Chain A
Amino acid sequence: MQNSAPQNLRPSHEDPRYGQEDEIFVDLEQLRQKMPRPLRRFFPNGGGHHHREKDRTLFGFTVFLMSESVIFLAFIVSYIALRLTAETWLPPGVKGPEVSTSIIIYTVVLLSSSLVIYLAERALERGKINLFRLLWLTTSAMGSFFLYGEIKEWLSNSFGPSTGLVGSTYYLLTGFHGLHVTAGIILQLIMLGRSFIPHNYDKGHFGATAVSLFWHLVDAIWIILFSLLYLWKA
């Protein structure tokens, strides 16, 4: 492919082909235009400095969450693999995690907190700052209630972390998830504190959006864990 046109004959800025003449195989800009809107803002094509910083940060945070969930994925795959291949899943005399009314209550509280945090976010968008604070605090309270419940479960279990594979997997999965709930609550409290700083929301409320994204993820993961740990019967 002889490049006959000299390199230095550059298309002008106004040229409609500007910035695209190299995209022979895939016209990324066209692809981008076809994407649904919320996706589109995650993929600017050149000239990122035109875009708002908030979008970029949210993009980064989403990527981070994806990566973070791979750790959970690794744990969950390990759980499934061990459970499918182990000869004795339950050591004699040990009953695995059992569905009880209390655990259902804790689960329902945690899951509905997702709705609450969503409402909180809506309130913030509409500028109802006090409603936001109230709902936000409710979310943390619900999360804390779940944590409290989980610790109670832990203490009342008939098995410990070194009881066969049930115990090992149960404590690893719930423990790691519990750590995330804790982190979520701490982040929420920080955001709550920040809401009292004047002009905190002048540049948008990226922090609140990110925390609520994180919270939704933590809740979604709990659904998976709950099904695997409690609902999957031997």
Chain B
Amino acid sequence: MLRIIEYLVFAIGAAAIIVVSYLMGQWSYSWLPVEASTDAQRIDDLFCFLVTLGSVIFFGVIGMILFSLIAYRAPKGDYSEGHPIRGDWKLEVTWTAIPTLLVLIIVGYSFIIYQKMDIAGPTRVLGELPVGIQRANAQTINQNIADTELIEVISQQWDWTFRYPKQNVVSKELHLPSNQRVRLVLQSKDVLHGFYVPEFRIKQDIIPNRNINFQFIPTRVGKYQLHDSQFSGTYFAVMQADVYVDTPQDYVRWLAQAANHPSNTLSLAASEEAQPPHQVFKSNWYTVLPAKPKEVDSSNFALRNFTNDQ
């Protein structure tokens, strides 16, 4: 009797899990911020796949456990033994083989996604192995991508500065043309920082005294937040900058405008440091002082070689 119930529950459960997992996967897109770069969509597809597969595994195992908890509770006061079965090599081989296969599928799919992505590989430290030499940009949805924009991103505790070398514009906000490949050269003047805009789904640490090439294609016009993603000390939390993805026309207009009005706003960190601390618990521990606005001028930071260093 219990056997039949087991099989029934099994079959219904398996079907339910597949349906639920599929729905979870579809739902997962809504857990993420809007997609604002070509890579965002690829990452989201990967995430959908991972959530679907993860749900199958999670609900599958949890389902088995919960079923056992309900079906096999020992009656009160029953201290008899269970069964003496110590294993079953067929079963054990199966549950080694299937996860191996799944894992290889995950890795393969991730690899394909990575190949399609528009970001450039970071600096080559110990030489490049000949895997995935081709950055297949052909699949990009946007067929006519204009010339690469090159923007220098200068990070320091706790401030961002952006320099457009061609136009010689220095700015505190990052403006990007939509649907064009932008190429950033990430630099740091002191400690590690990280370039992260959630809507772009990509992230890269910035290493002092290195130029790190980073590229992607923003697609959605709008205003976003750039956040430092690698912990950098006291005012890490407010090391932010506004990112605007403009239509190419707006972008050109902004560049022309910005060339005439060099921005010199105080960083959030510097203005917070200027105020007396207002928190309940004050430690008054020492901190590195935030950069003053005029320290961040472009002249003392010549753009070094544009290719990856080394």
Contacts and interface: CB of A to CB of B under 8 A. Distances in A.
Direct contact of A and B (CB under 8 A): yes
Contacts of A2: 84-85
Interface residues of A, number: 5
A100 interface: no
Nearest to A7: B84
A156 interface: no
Interface string A1-36: 111000100000000000000000000000000000
Contact of A1 (B88, B125, B310): B88
A2 B310 CA distance: 63
Contacts of B89: 1
B87 interface: yes
B166 interface: no
B86 interface: yes
A1 B85 CA distance: 7
A37 B88 CA distance: 38
A85 interface: yes
Nearest to A6: B84
Nearest to A5: B84
A1 B87 CA distance: 6
B85 A85 contact: no
A47 to B, nearest CB: 25
A3 B85 CA distance: 6
Interface string B84-107: 111111000000000000000000
A3 B86 CA distance: 7
A216 B89 CA distance: 48
Interface string B53-65: 0000000000000
Interface of B: 84-89, 125-126, 310
Top 10 nearest A-B pairs (CB, nearest first) are A3-B84, A3-B86, A1-B87, A1-B88, A1-B86, A2-B85, A1-B89, A85-B125, A3-B85, A1-B85
Given A1-B86, A3-B85, A7-B84, 11 more contacts: A1-B85, A1-B87, A1-B88, A1-B89, A2-B84, A2-B85, A3-B84, A3-B86, A85-B125, A85-B126, A85-B310
